[in-house]
Amino acid sequence: MNPFTYSRAGDLDEAVREISDNDRAKFIAGGTNLVDLMKANVMHPTHLVDITRLGLSAIEETEEGGLRLGSLVTNAETAYHPQVAERYPLLANAILAGASPQLRNMATNGGNLLQRTRCYYFYDTATPCNKREPGSGCSALNGHNRIHAILGTSEHCIATHPSDMCVALAALEAVVRVTNRYGERAIPFADFHRLPGDTPHIDANLEPDEIITAVELPPRGFSQHFKYLKIRDRASYAFALVSVAVGLEMEGDTIREARLALGGVAHKPWRNLEAEALLVGNPANRETFKRAADRIVADARGYGSNSFKIELARRAVVRALNEAAK
Ligand SMILES: Cc1cc2nc3c(=O)[nH]c(=O)nc-3n(C[C@H](O)[C@H](O)[C@H](O)COP(=O)(O)OP(=O)(O)OC[C@H]3O[C@@H](n4cnc5c(N)ncnc54)[C@H](O)[C@@H]3O)c2cc1C
Ligand code: SF4
């Protein structure tokens, strides 16, 4: 691990000022991802700004009737919060499908959004990786790529975003609130994470000197018909090979509204609005579900060891829709 200095910001202004003044500084929240990456010599900030005392630790109602999740609320506090559990069980289930109780007690909502890929080569500093070292190449393209992406990939990177929480947030159409030295802005969740393109080293549409203050959930939580399905190698403590977040509004057996997001398949939580449109107005049956699933995987491409994910994703979508519609 490289040497670094440390300071604890007392308020939001101080945190933003510290990060703006030093382009090699990073925020640290729960530290469950950043510290690992520093130990592995993948990331080497020279200064850490501890943001854990900023008071962004509340879950409150928004004026619109949704919920605002402070960026420093832990994943555990979020999942077990009565309002989240009752109104947004899709989100609670997705969070609880991730990591372990100990990790969820430390991990924060802001840090969860910005956790980095689990690509083996990203962690292995002896191998080329465009995300870790731009321009060096992508070892996964022709290497071990069992856990890699099948949608939205580029010739420069086929990594996936590893979060479970973010898949549910994509389906719920959350909004990310950020602050920089000029003020605040709101980023729709669909625009927050990026596809790799030719800049895979940039994971999110967040400037280096911006801080996430909250994630806002719209009023609609799809609490009657929802499913978070996570397919993984072990029953717990494993990242998703494929995951599916579904929220449905039903009228009898007919689907009135549908939200569908996939994890483990792309550089960002993956939504396909055409697939969602294929569900709306149609009966909740296997034919309808298969049509939507086929639409999603029609754009998929396998790279060898991960090709099995195409059929896995198709089946996972059908199963998740089936369970959500019950
Ligand atoms: C063994 C293991 C297993 C795991 N399994 C899963 C899993 O199955 N599913 C899953 O979803 N996750 C999993 N995780 C990941 C875990 O959820 C993340 O590590 C965690 O959410 C990161 O939150 P943190 O607060 O610890 O972030 P940190 O490590 O403190 O920070 C991560 C990044 O976010 C930045 N950051 C943090 N907060 C802010 C903010 N408010 N504004 C701007 N930047 C910020 C930091 O600068 C850093 O770059 C696992 C982690 C481990 C170690
Ligand atoms: S898939 Fe992305 S993260 Fe993995 S080696 Fe290639 S460039 Fe690096």
pLDDT in tens, 74-121: 999 999 999 999 999 999 999 999 999 999 999 999 999 999 999 999
pLDDT of 256 reads 98
Per-residue pLDDT tens digits for 249-286: 999 999 999 999 999 999 999 999 999 999 999 999 99
Total Cβ atoms within 10 A of residue 218: 15
pTM of the model: 0.98
196 in a structural domain: no
234 in a structural domain: yes
Residue from 103, 203, 205, 228 to probe ligand 1 pocket by mutation (most atoms less than 8 Å from CB): 103
141 in a structural domain: no
Domain of 44, CATH number, reads 3.30.43.10
What dihedral do alpha carbons 207, 208, 209, 213 form, nearest 10°? 70
Q: How many domains does the chain have?
A: 2
118 in a structural domain: no
34 CA to middle of ligand 1, Å? 7
122 CA to middle of ligand 2, Å? 6
Whole domain around residue 276: which residue ranges? 225-324
Q: Tell me if 71 CB under 6 Å of ligand 1.
A: yes
42 CA to middle of ligand 2, Å? 13
d(CA 9, CA 95): 27
Per-residue pLDDT tens digits for 147-186: 999 999 999 999 999 999 999 999 999 999 999 999 999 9
250 in a structural domain: yes
183 in a structural domain: no
133 in a structural domain: no
DSSP single-letter state for residue 22: -
Q: Tell me if 117 CB under 6 Å of ligand 2.
A: yes
Per-residue pLDDT tens digits for 4-57: 999 999 999 999 999 999 999 999 999 999 999 999 999 999 999 999 999 999
Residue from 116, 117, 161, 194 to probe ligand 2 pocket by mutation (most atoms less than 8 Å from CB): 117
Give the residue, by CA position, lying nearest to ligand 2 atom 6: 138
Domain of 245, CATH number, reads 3.30.390.50
Q: Tell me if 225 CB under 6 Å of ligand 2.
A: no
Given pLDDT bands bounded at 50, 70 and 90, which one contains residue 73?
A: very high
Q: Tell me if 114 CB under 6 Å of ligand 1.
A: yes
DSSP single-letter state for residue 116: P
135 CA to middle of ligand 1, Å? 26
pLDDT of 318 reads 98
266 in a structural domain: yes
**CB hemisphere CA count around 182 (13 angstroms):** 3
109 CA to middle of ligand 1, Å? 8
Give the containing element (helix H, strand E) for 123. helix 120-123
